[in-house]
Structure 1
């Protein structure tokens, strides 16, 4: 029988919010073209709120389980993903009111790429970290 993997609440919330970031980043170009009435969802204010919520919640979900096995690869992916999100939103972002012409700009695409890769990385590493904690057979880890 296969043991079920239990993921703590903060990890689940982090995975959900990171997935929401991915959906947001992939949907925005289409929403801009077809649904301009949803400007709050496509605006940088919503993105900032989402990212500033994801970062502390993901830390609350990631680090308690990571401290049990201290997998450096997971830590590297976690920190890199957070940095990509923060850089994409606060260093590259400049689209308070994105026009159709701005969606074709290199800066806008680099922002989408950074945010999407960061959110995917964060969701993946949070899931893998929690799963590793529950399935690791290394006797030297504190599971």
Structure 2
């Protein structure tokens, strides 16, 4: 029963982290396109200054929990390596002064890597 609960908890963390990565990806790709296509929307859709730092602050503990629980069970390091590369890229995009284009590119790449790391983690959990 304890193993089942740990698996369910880890799966929930992976799903939350994948969802957050997906939302980040949508935000990074769709919002700039909307802002370029329809300049009038920029008045209504402005992103608060600290949004990216807040999203990063959410991604780190969620990912750490899911990846730690997964690693304890399947002992594979690749999911964590890929996810940490993604978190690093997201952190660089969120916390360093970059051009908007560079920030978007780095953050999108990081979100894809983070989602891939969690997908690898979830797959390793299912396949032992």
**How would you bin the TM-score normalised by the shorter chain?**
0.7 to 0.9
Cα distance in 1, alignment partners of residues 123 and 13 from structure 2: 14
The number of residue pairs the alignment matches comes to 117
1:27 aligns with 30
- Superposed counterparts of 1:27-66, under 5 Å: 27-33=30-36, 34=38, 35-36=41-42, 37-40=44-47, 43-66=48-71
- Deviating beyond 3 angstroms after TM superposition, the runs of 4 or more aligned structure 1 residues are none
Note if contact 1:31-1:38 (Cα within 8 Å) is conserved in structure 2: no
Residues in 2 aligned to 1:124 and 1:92: alpha-carbon distance in whole angstroms: 26
CA contact (8 A) 2:25 2:108 kept: yes
User: Larger helix proportion, structure 1 or 2?
Assistant: 2
Deviation at 1:56, TM superposition (A): 0.9
Could you say what secondary structure the match of 1:64 adopts?
helix
Computed over aligned residues only, the root mean square deviation of the Cα atoms, in angstroms, reads: 1.9
Please say if 1:10 is aligned against 2:17: no
Does the CA contact (< 8 Å) of 2:94 and 2:103 recur in 1? yes
TM-score of the aligned structures, taking structure 1 as reference length: 0.73
* Alpha-carbon shift at residue 72 of structure 1 (Å): 2.5
Q: Which residue of 2 aligns with 1:140?
A: none
Q: TM-score, normalised by structure 2?
A: 0.81
Q: Aligned-pair distance for 1:65?
A: 0.7
The answer (yes or no) to whether the contact 1:84–1:117 under 8 Å persists in 2 is yes
